[in-house]
Amino acid sequence: MEAARPLDARLAATDLACRRGERLLFRGLSFELKAGEALQIVGPNGTGKSSLLRILAGLMQPLAGTVDRNVSVALLDERLPLDGHLPLNRAVAFWSRLQSGHSDPNLIESNGLGRLADVPVRFLSTGQRKRAAILVSNTHNAGLWLLDEPLNGLDVNAAADFQRLLADYLAKGGMAIIASHQPFDVPGLRQISLQDFAA
Protein backbone atom coordinates (compact mmCIF):
# COMPACT_ATOMS: atom_id res chain seq x y z
CA MET A 1 0.00 0.00 0.00
CA GLU A 2 1.32 3.46 -0.89
CA ALA A 3 1.96 5.97 1.88
CA ALA A 4 -0.57 8.78 1.88
CA ARG A 5 0.65 12.36 1.76
CA PRO A 6 -1.09 14.50 4.38
CA LEU A 7 -2.86 17.60 3.10
CA ASP A 8 -0.94 19.59 5.71
CA ALA A 9 2.43 18.15 4.62
CA ARG A 10 5.22 20.11 6.24
CA LEU A 11 8.95 20.14 6.87
CA ALA A 12 10.45 22.64 9.31
CA ALA A 13 14.16 22.98 10.04
CA THR A 14 15.01 25.26 12.95
CA ASP A 15 18.46 26.65 13.84
CA LEU A 16 20.33 23.68 12.37
CA ALA A 17 24.07 23.37 12.87
CA CYS A 18 26.30 20.66 11.43
CA ARG A 19 29.81 19.55 12.32
CA ARG A 20 31.88 16.96 10.45
CA GLY A 21 34.90 15.90 12.46
CA GLU A 22 36.34 19.07 13.99
CA ARG A 23 34.88 21.36 11.34
CA LEU A 24 31.65 23.32 11.84
CA LEU A 25 30.05 23.45 8.38
CA PHE A 26 27.01 25.64 9.00
CA ARG A 27 24.86 27.01 11.81
CA GLY A 28 21.64 28.95 12.33
CA LEU A 29 19.93 27.41 9.28
CA SER A 30 16.12 27.57 9.37
CA PHE A 31 13.51 27.06 6.65
CA GLU A 32 10.07 25.57 6.12
CA LEU A 33 8.45 23.70 3.23
CA LYS A 34 4.80 22.90 2.62
CA ALA A 35 3.04 20.65 0.12
CA GLY A 36 3.99 21.51 -3.46
CA GLU A 37 7.11 23.49 -2.54
CA ALA A 38 10.75 22.93 -3.47
CA LEU A 39 14.03 24.34 -2.21
CA GLN A 40 17.46 24.23 -3.83
CA ILE A 41 20.52 24.15 -1.57
CA VAL A 42 23.62 25.62 -3.19
CA GLY A 43 27.20 26.20 -2.11
CA PRO A 44 30.73 25.08 -2.95
CA ASN A 45 31.88 21.52 -2.31
CA GLY A 46 32.44 20.88 1.37
CA THR A 47 29.86 23.34 2.68
CA GLY A 48 27.56 20.59 3.97
CA LYS A 49 24.89 20.10 1.29
CA SER A 50 24.95 16.29 1.48
CA SER A 51 25.21 16.38 5.27
CA LEU A 52 22.13 18.60 5.42
CA LEU A 53 20.13 16.09 3.36
CA ARG A 54 21.20 13.27 5.68
CA ILE A 55 20.13 15.33 8.70
CA LEU A 56 16.73 16.00 7.11
CA ALA A 57 16.36 12.28 6.32
CA GLY A 58 17.07 11.38 9.95
CA LEU A 59 20.28 9.52 9.07
CA MET A 60 22.54 11.98 10.88
CA GLN A 61 22.09 14.04 14.03
CA PRO A 62 22.56 17.81 13.79
CA LEU A 63 25.01 19.45 16.17
CA ALA A 64 22.15 21.76 17.13
CA GLY A 65 18.61 22.52 16.04
CA THR A 66 15.56 20.46 15.17
CA VAL A 67 13.82 18.92 12.17
CA ASP A 68 10.05 18.45 12.23
CA ARG A 69 8.25 16.67 9.38
CA ASN A 70 5.03 14.71 8.97
CA VAL A 71 5.78 12.90 5.70
CA SER A 72 7.85 9.92 4.60
CA VAL A 73 11.18 10.60 2.91
CA ALA A 74 12.98 9.29 -0.18
CA LEU A 75 16.70 10.11 -0.28
CA LEU A 76 18.38 10.01 -3.69
CA ASP A 77 22.15 10.27 -3.47
CA GLU A 78 25.15 8.51 -5.01
CA ARG A 79 24.31 5.24 -3.24
CA LEU A 80 21.95 3.17 -5.39
CA PRO A 81 19.86 0.99 -3.03
CA LEU A 82 19.78 -1.97 -5.40
CA ASP A 83 21.62 -5.30 -5.34
CA GLY A 84 24.40 -4.88 -7.90
CA HIS A 85 24.39 -8.57 -8.80
CA LEU A 86 20.69 -8.74 -9.74
CA PRO A 87 19.32 -7.79 -13.18
CA LEU A 88 17.70 -4.37 -13.02
CA ASN A 89 14.13 -5.69 -13.38
CA ARG A 90 14.53 -8.12 -10.44
CA ALA A 91 16.33 -5.55 -8.28
CA VAL A 92 13.63 -2.91 -8.83
CA ALA A 93 10.85 -5.47 -8.32
CA PHE A 94 12.35 -6.47 -4.96
CA TRP A 95 12.59 -2.82 -3.85
CA SER A 96 9.06 -2.11 -5.03
CA ARG A 97 7.67 -5.07 -3.07
CA LEU A 98 9.62 -3.98 0.00
CA GLN A 99 8.27 -0.42 -0.19
CA SER A 100 4.71 -0.93 -1.38
CA GLY A 101 3.91 -4.60 -0.83
CA HIS A 102 3.54 -5.38 -4.53
CA SER A 103 5.55 -5.26 -7.73
CA ASP A 104 4.46 -3.64 -10.99
CA PRO A 105 5.72 -5.82 -13.88
CA ASN A 106 5.61 -2.81 -16.23
CA LEU A 107 7.55 -0.46 -13.93
CA ILE A 108 10.86 -0.72 -15.79
CA GLU A 109 9.30 -0.51 -19.25
CA SER A 110 6.99 2.41 -18.42
CA ASN A 111 9.98 4.43 -17.17
CA GLY A 112 12.10 4.01 -20.29
CA LEU A 113 14.46 1.39 -18.85
CA GLY A 114 12.99 -1.68 -20.55
CA ARG A 115 16.07 -2.41 -22.69
CA LEU A 116 18.12 -2.62 -19.47
CA ALA A 117 15.80 -5.06 -17.68
CA ASP A 118 18.21 -8.02 -17.90
CA VAL A 119 21.41 -6.02 -17.26
CA PRO A 120 22.96 -6.55 -13.80
CA VAL A 121 22.81 -3.31 -11.81
CA ARG A 122 26.60 -3.20 -11.39
CA PHE A 123 27.03 -2.84 -15.16
CA LEU A 124 24.77 0.21 -15.54
CA SER A 125 26.34 3.54 -16.51
CA THR A 126 26.24 6.50 -14.12
CA GLY A 127 23.25 7.99 -15.92
CA GLN A 128 21.41 4.66 -16.05
CA ARG A 129 22.03 4.10 -12.33
CA LYS A 130 20.70 7.58 -11.59
CA ARG A 131 17.54 6.93 -13.61
CA ALA A 132 17.04 3.64 -11.75
CA ALA A 133 17.52 5.44 -8.43
CA ILE A 134 14.91 8.04 -9.40
CA LEU A 135 12.52 5.22 -10.26
CA VAL A 136 13.14 3.46 -6.94
CA SER A 137 12.69 6.72 -5.01
CA ASN A 138 9.24 7.08 -6.53
CA THR A 139 7.94 3.57 -5.75
CA HIS A 140 6.62 4.29 -2.26
CA ASN A 141 5.02 7.69 -2.90
CA ALA A 142 7.16 9.55 -0.35
CA GLY A 143 5.96 13.02 0.55
CA LEU A 144 9.49 14.50 0.54
CA TRP A 145 12.25 13.92 -1.99
CA LEU A 146 15.80 14.73 -0.83
CA LEU A 147 17.87 14.92 -4.01
CA ASP A 148 21.67 15.08 -3.92
CA GLU A 149 23.00 16.25 -7.31
CA PRO A 150 20.20 14.40 -9.16
CA LEU A 151 21.22 15.60 -12.63
CA ASN A 152 24.82 14.36 -12.42
CA GLY A 153 25.46 11.74 -15.07
CA LEU A 154 22.23 12.43 -16.96
CA ASP A 155 22.25 13.50 -20.59
CA VAL A 156 20.25 16.54 -21.71
CA ASN A 157 17.08 14.57 -22.49
CA ALA A 158 17.19 12.55 -19.27
CA ALA A 159 17.80 15.73 -17.26
CA ALA A 160 14.79 17.39 -18.90
CA ASP A 161 12.67 14.28 -18.22
CA PHE A 162 13.68 14.34 -14.56
CA GLN A 163 12.79 18.01 -14.18
CA ARG A 164 9.36 17.33 -15.70
CA LEU A 165 8.93 14.40 -13.30
CA LEU A 166 9.87 16.63 -10.37
CA ALA A 167 7.47 19.39 -11.47
CA ASP A 168 4.65 16.82 -11.74
CA TYR A 169 5.50 15.42 -8.30
CA LEU A 170 5.33 18.92 -6.78
CA ALA A 171 2.04 19.67 -8.57
CA LYS A 172 0.58 16.60 -6.85
CA GLY A 173 1.56 17.88 -3.39
CA GLY A 174 5.05 16.48 -2.98
CA MET A 175 7.93 18.46 -1.47
CA ALA A 176 11.57 18.45 -2.60
CA ILE A 177 14.94 19.65 -1.42
CA ILE A 178 17.61 19.64 -4.11
CA ALA A 179 21.31 19.92 -3.31
CA SER A 180 22.87 20.85 -6.63
CA HIS A 181 25.23 23.22 -8.41
CA GLN A 182 23.17 22.93 -11.59
CA PRO A 183 20.22 25.17 -12.50
CA PHE A 184 16.76 23.62 -12.24
CA ASP A 185 13.72 24.56 -14.29
CA VAL A 186 11.08 23.93 -11.65
CA PRO A 187 8.21 26.42 -11.02
CA GLY A 188 8.49 28.35 -7.75
CA LEU A 189 11.88 26.92 -6.79
CA ARG A 190 13.44 28.80 -3.86
CA GLN A 191 17.15 28.81 -3.14
CA ILE A 192 19.37 28.89 -0.03
CA SER A 193 23.16 29.22 -0.11
CA LEU A 194 24.90 27.36 2.70
CA GLN A 195 27.70 29.90 2.45
CA ASP A 196 25.33 32.37 4.13
CA PHE A 197 25.28 30.08 7.19
CA ALA A 198 28.98 29.18 7.27
CA ALA A 199 30.45 29.07 10.76
Tell which of 118, 141, 164 closes a domain.
141
pLDDT of residue 100: 58
Instruction: Indicate whether 179 and 137 sit together in one domain.
Output: no
Instruction: Indicate whether 125 and 135 sit together in one domain.
Output: yes
CA gap 126, 80 in Å, rounded = 10
Average pLDDT in the 47-53 region?
A: 93
Query: Which of 70, 24, 34, 75 shows the shortest CA–CA distance to 53?
Result: 75
Q: Is residue 2 part of a domain?
A: no
Tell me phi and psi for residue 25, to 5 degrees.
-85, -45
pLDDT at 29 over 70: yes
Beta strands 23-34 and 10-20 are antiparallel
Model confidence pLDDT, tens digit, residues 97-135: 766 555 666 667 766 778 888 888 888 877 777 777 777
Q: Is residue 13 part of a domain?
A: no
Domain that includes residue 105, residue range: 83-141
- Confidence band (pLDDT; 50, 70, 90) for 2? very low
Instruction: Indicate whether 67 and 38 sit together in one domain.
Output: yes
Q: Is residue 22 part of a domain?
A: no
Q: Are 81 and 136 in contact (CB under 8 A)?
A: yes
- Which helix (DSSP H) or strand (DSSP E) does residue 39 occupy? strand 38-42
pLDDT of residue 146: 92
Instruction: Indicate whether 185 and 102 sit together in one domain.
Output: no
User: How many structural domains is the chain composed of?
Assistant: 2
DSSP three-state, residue 166: helix
Beta bridge partners of 144: 73, 175
DSSP 85-135: TSBHHHHHHHHHHHHHSS--TTHHHHTT-GGGTTSBGGG--HHHHHHHHHH
**pLDDT, greater one: 12 or 182:** 12
Fill in the DSSP letter of residue 78. Answer: S
CA gap 129, 42 in Å, rounded = 23
- Confidence band (pLDDT; 50, 70, 90) for 182? confident
Q: Is residue 105 part of a domain?
A: yes
Tell me phi and psi for residue 68, to 5 degrees.
-125, 120
Instruction: Indicate whether 65 and 151 sit together in one domain.
Output: yes
**pLDDT, greater one: 77 or 197:** 197
Instruction: Indicate whether 172 and 194 sit together in one domain.
Output: yes
Q: Is residue 77 part of a domain?
A: no
Report in angstroms the alpha-carbon separations of 174 from 33, 107, 138, 145.
Answer: 10, 20, 11, 8
Sheet of 175-179, strands arranged across: 73-76, 144-148, 175-179, 38-42, 190-193
Fill in the DSSP letter of residue 5. Answer: P
Beta bridge partners of 73: 144
This prediction's pTM: 0.81
Instruction: Indicate whether 46 and 126 sit together in one domain.
Output: no
Instruction: Indicate whether 183 and 92 sit together in one domain.
Output: no
Q: Is residue 20 part of a domain?
A: no
Highest mean pLDDT among 56-65, 128-137, 165-174: 56-65
